[in-house]
Amino acid sequence: MRDFYGTALANGLMLGTAQYPSPAILKDAFERSGASVATVSLRRESGQDRAGQDFWHLIRALDVHLLPNTAGCHSVKEAVTTAHMAREVFDTKWIKLEVIGEEDLLQPDVFGLVEAARILTEDGFQVFPYTTEDLVVAERLLHAGCEVLMPWGAPIGSGLGLNNIFGLRAMRAHFPDVPLVIDAGLGLPSQAAAAMELGFDAVLLNTAVAKAGDPAAMAAAFAAAVNAGQLAQAADPMEPRDMAAPSTPVIGKAFLI
């Protein structure tokens, strides 16, 4: 597995921390999955009664890498301000950068994303940008200083899986040395396995686990799928073909006339 800004991860599963039925279930999901990264949002903090402190203590106790995000930000200024707050709270240079440009699909504002990425990179952040599979946008983000790209599989929370296989495969081929993470849209473990089989380095998901009937079991299923996909990709899979090919040798076979 590739390093992420010089940090080697134990596996390619990253989990969000929102929407779980209870803190105990969240903790169980992380323990059963062995996820290497937890994404967290500053919007869980309460400015008046500090009610979010129990949540922060729980997250820190998970003993995973923390990836604060700028979820819900719709402008460059808002995203940059949130990132600075996150660095102060979590004492990390990592930031998952989201700049949302469209409400219905929560599609990234790629123009604002590139600008915010440049500002934050120049300020010492290590940016994980939530983006599309557009190759031109990807180039701009890399030129802005990003060393990781996080294209969406499908709209956040949709569970639709990998909507643009061609685009994602093209991104992997175009940037062979850049760590790539499928971020958002995965609903089933099989979709995570497919992402890893395409050569992606990790997947990030939240809703598919948090909203499952048994979140911990689903987290474990995604962990197994990510591992299976990694193993399959490393094993150099066979190329698909249009014609059948017999698996049983025909040489020496007796023919009846």
207 among annotated binding-site residues: yes
Catalytic, out of 93, 96, 211, 253? 96
Q: Residue 39's closest CA among 90, 77, 76? A: 90
List the structure tokens of 102.
């469209």
Catalytic residue list contains 96: yes
157 among annotated binding-site residues: yes
SS3 204: strand
CB atoms within 10 A of CB 235: 9
184 among annotated binding-site residues: yes
69 among annotated binding-site residues: no
CB atoms within 10 A of CB 127: 26
SS3 171: helix
Can you tell me the distance from the alpha carbon of 38 to that of 57, in angstroms, rounded to the nearest whole number?
13
CA distances 28 to 12, 33, 174, Å, are: 18, 8, 38
Can you tell me the distance from the alpha carbon of 19 to that of 42, in angstroms, rounded to the nearest whole number?
14
SS3 123: coil
Buried b (16+ CB within 10 A) or exposed e, 164-188: beeebeebbeeeeebbbbbbbbbbe
Angle between helices 189-197 and 215-234 (to 10 degrees): 20
List the structure tokens of 23.
């803190």
Pairing assessment for the beta strands 100-102 and 107-108 based on DSSP bridges = antiparallel
What positions carry a catalytic annotation? 96
Which parts are annotated binding residues?
157, 184-185, 206-207
Which parts are annotated binding residues for 1-deoxy-D-xylulose 5-phosphate?
157, 184-185, 206-207
